[in-house]
Structure 1
């Protein structure tokens, strides 16, 4: 009787091996051979599912782009499900922190995000992923600005502010929040030894305080 292979389980094992390598050694380490060693498989077995390093990178990108929206949606739901318990600055802070590399999971996502930004310049297949990342961060920045400034938003969670905010001053504020997030993520990635995670949180909170005051 032929052996039944759980292909989804194998893909999950490979994805976990890639994420461990990326966290430990960076995106460039996620070669087919290294991933095979990490997963305890032969290179040929890995190539059966992912023929090259680009395919492995797309795997982790797809996983990150599935995990991050799920976490963000939980913050959106908590905002709309309990209006009486709303804390605009706290909600905005917690939501935007999902986009910063403050733990192992998010550090892998930051590595993947930065690798995608670079690789997309030469790989048209990744251009859509780069565009989606930009749009997603800008949308969350708009929502945060709307929350801390008391603007009304459509409670339908499927509508993620794909258009600019109604007030130009709010849209400019969203652009600065977006730029700050990118900068904090880059600092944490490039200067991990010098950057304290609590300092990143304080910097983000200070900026949101200024946005709330209309600065």
Structure 2
């Protein structure tokens, strides 16, 4: 009897193997062959799901975005203050715990798109815009702030912290990052 394969699970398995290869060897080492080896699949099995390396990289990046989005949605369901929910959402954009590999993949992918001159929308920036705009619409932010400047400032803080953590150049723990983001939110909230 033939083995029944869950195709979505298999694609996710391949995407996560792609993350691991990217984390170990960078995007340059993420050949379909190396990804197939990491996933313990044949080259043909990987090619069955993804015709090109580009398709595979796009799917792997989409999976990163999907996982982050799902975790963010979970934070909005928790019975916390709006400021605490915002803090938890912003912490999802900083690479701690299992998020480290997601950030590595994101950074490699963005670098790859820059080299190809195909830079699209920055999802972190978009998330910050959406979040700050929603908070402003809710009427919970200080009235004397310049919204666009605050968005740029908060985005720079999150991106800078994420990059420093990923690079490991500036030793900074999760509690310190949480404190710095909370301090920024204290300044923005009424």
Q: Same fold (TM over 0.5)?
A: yes
Residues 51-130 of structure 1: pairs in structure 2 closer than 5 A: 51-78=51-78, 86-104=80-98, 106-123=99-116, 127-128=119-120, 130=121
The Cα of 1:178 is off from its aligned counterpart by 1.2
- TM-score (ref. length: structure 1): 0.71
SS in 2 for 1:101: coil
Residue 39 of structure 2 is matched in structure 1 by 39
Equivalence for 1:140: 131
CA shift in 2, pair 1:67/1:3, >3 Å? closer
Normalising by structure 2, we get a TM-score of 0.79
Q: 1:26 to 1:121 in 2, by over 3 A?
A: closer
Residue correspondences, number: 189
Structure 1 unmatched runs, 5+ = 152-165
Question: Structure 1: how far apart are the matches of 2:51 and 2:103?
Answer: 24
Q: Does residue 9 in structure 1 map to residue 9 in structure 2?
A: yes
Structure 1 residue 184 corresponds to structure 2 residue 161:
yes
Alignment correspondent of 1:154: none
- Over aligned residues, Cα RMSD in angstroms? 3.0
CA distance in 2, matches of 1:95, 1:192: 24
Cα gap change, 1:132 to 1:210, in 2 (>3 Å) = closer
- In structure 1, distance between residues paired with 2:82 and 2:8: 40
Residues 93, 4 of structure 1: alpha-carbon distance in 2 compared, 3 angstrom cutoff:
closer
Q: How far does residue 140 in structure 1 lie from its aligned partner after superposition?
A: 2.5
Shift of 1:25: 4.5
What CA distance in whole angstroms lies between the structure 2 residues aligned with 1:109 and 1:141?
23
For the residues of structure 2 that align with 1:116 and 1:137, how far apart are their CA atoms?
20
* Cα drift, residue 99 of structure 1: 0.9
1:25-44 superposed Cα distances (whole Å, 9 cap, x missing partner): 44443321211111112223
Shift of 1:10: 2.2
Shift of 1:122: 4.1
